[in-house]
């Protein structure tokens, strides 16, 4: 467990939600947008089974004169019975369709999403549709000159805001049906430049803080998992001795360089083993070489230890978007 004093601890998800307000210290990052907000079947199956098991009823032995006619009638009856067996029950067909539709739900999707400004009614996004599958990374390219669209899109994708029309979903569940803890504590790991880390905590404590707040059960002590995650993202390389790793991990985040902070942000985003990793401009403060390193690291997160994830990077930089497996261009 984290060494943080109980009276100083708050729910990390609630804290992040509180940060996403008009009082946020980051210009243009205000996410408080207000929007208008079978038993009969079993019996039928049993009847079908009885019909399927029943042998076609035999006819009278054909006479010599009518042998051909009776044989044809018997053959027709047999064919009718066979066709009845082959023909799927309507209820079974409906179930198959439902199963097919369920399997068709991607890990993350937006369907006909329209967002209107609460005061003016102006459409910020109109009829926006996209789908993102598990095991794939996506670069979502947005207009660099439209900050409101950019911020609103990130808020929608993270579940901080909800559309006026349409749906934002993870698999078959709308985001608005999930509590903040279920959504950002379990389903989505969010990586935001301004609010992804607590500068007053060490790298290890940041990860422990997120894992504590998620209320998940872990197979190992979270302090051990935190160190493993930092090693996995290259913050505390496995080649370092234990003393060096411990010293680096205890350093306050605000004292770290930009690329080390970015590594810790990735580690914290995956600390609760989410299905989706959502990153907003993850390389904005990095030079070209460090940016390439972090983008490679993000793309690698599609392959989790126990699952295939969806990684989504929202950016105004075409090179950043192009570094992902697929690009979704929303600038047109």
Cβ-contact 41, 91 below 8 angstroms: yes
Digit-coded pLDDT (tens) for 307-329: 899 999 999 999 999 999 999 99
- pLDDT value at position 314? 98
In a domain, 68, yes or no: no
pLDDT of residue 220: 87
Q: Which one, of 42, 126, 47, 291, lies nearest residue 279 by Cα?
A: 291
Rounded to two decimals, the pTM is 0.69
So what's the pLDDT on residue 218?
A: 83
Domain presence at residue 79? no
Q: What is the pLDDT of residue 251?
A: 85
- pLDDT score for 69: 47
Residue 122 domain-assigned? yes
Residue range 279-292: average pLDDT? 94
β-bridge mates for residue 140, sequence order? 314, 328
**CA–CA separation, 184 and 159 (whole Å):** 8
The stretch 207-233 carries a mean pLDDT of 88
Domain assignment present for residue 83? The answer is no
Total domain count, the chain: 1
**168 domain-assigned:** yes
Residue 153 belongs to domain with CATH number: 3.40.50.300
Between helix 222-232 and helix 203-214 the angle, nearest 10°, is 120
pLDDT of residue 216: 78
What span, in angstroms and rounded, lies between the C-alpha atoms of 196 and 269? Answer: 8
**Is the model's pLDDT at 162 over the cut of 70?**
yes
CA 29 to chain centre: 22
**53 inside domain:** no
The pLDDT mean for the chain works out to 76
10 Å Cβ neighbour count for 116? 18
Is there a domain that residue 1 lies in?
A: no
Q: Which residues of 72-107 are buried (b: 16+ CB within 10 A; e: fewer)?
A: eeeeeeeeebeeeeeeeeeeeeeeeeeeeeeeeebb
Between CA 55 and CA 146 the distance in angstroms is 72
Report yes or no on 313 lying in a domain. Answer: yes
Please write the tens of the pLDDT for every residue from 20-66. Answer: 444 443 333 333 344 344 434 333 333 443 434 444 343 344 444 44
Q: Please, which residues bridge with residue 315 across strands? A: 141
Q: What tokens were used for 129?
A: 């549709």
CA distances from 153 to 57, 113, 149, 187, 314 (A): 67, 10, 6, 18, 9
Q: Which domain holds residue 152?
A: 108-329
- Tokens at 7, concatenated: 């009276």
């Amino acid at each position: 467990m984290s060494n943080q004093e109980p009276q100083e601890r708050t729910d990390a998800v609630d804290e992040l939600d509180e940060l996403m307000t008009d009082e946020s210290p980051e210009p243009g990052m205000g996410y408080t947008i207000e929007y208008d907000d079978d038993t009969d079947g079993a019996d039928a199956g049993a009847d079908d089974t009885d019909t399927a098991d029943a042998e076609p009823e035999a006819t009278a032995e054909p006479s010599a004169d009518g042998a051909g006619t009776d044989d044809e009638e018997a053959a027709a009856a047999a064919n009718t019975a066979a066709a009845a067996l082959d023909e799927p029950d309507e209820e079974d067909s409906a179930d198959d369709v439902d199963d097919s539709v369920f399997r068709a739900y991607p890990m993350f999707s937006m369907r006909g999403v329209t967002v209107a400004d609460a005061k003016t009614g102006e459409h910020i996004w109109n009829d926006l549709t996209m789908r993102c599958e598990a095991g794939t990374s996506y670069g979502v390219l947005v207009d660099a000159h439209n900050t409101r669209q950019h911020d609103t899109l990130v808020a929608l994708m993270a579940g901080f805001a909800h559309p006026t029309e349409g749906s934002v979903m993870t698999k078959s569940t709308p985001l608005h049906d999930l509590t903040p803890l279920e959504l950002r504590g379990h389903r989505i790991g969010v990586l935001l430049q301004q609010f992804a880390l607590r500068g007053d905590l060490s790298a290890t404590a940041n990860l422990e803080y997120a894992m504590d707040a998620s209320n998940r059960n872990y197979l190992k002590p979270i302090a051990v998992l935190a160190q493993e995650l930092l090693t996995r993202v290259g913050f505390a390389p496995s080649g370092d001795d234990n003393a060096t790793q411990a010293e680096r991990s205890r350093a306050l985040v605000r004292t770290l360089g930009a690329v080390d902070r970015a590594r810790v942000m990735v580690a914290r985003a995956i600390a609760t083993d989410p299905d989706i990793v959502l990153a907003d401009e993850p390389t904005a403060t990095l030079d070209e070489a460090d940016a390439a390193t972090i983008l490679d690291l993000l793309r690698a997160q599609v392959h989790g230890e126990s699952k295939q994830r969806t990684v989504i990077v929202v950016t105004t930089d075409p090179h950043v978007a192009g570094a992902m497996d697929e690009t979704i261009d929303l600038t047109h």
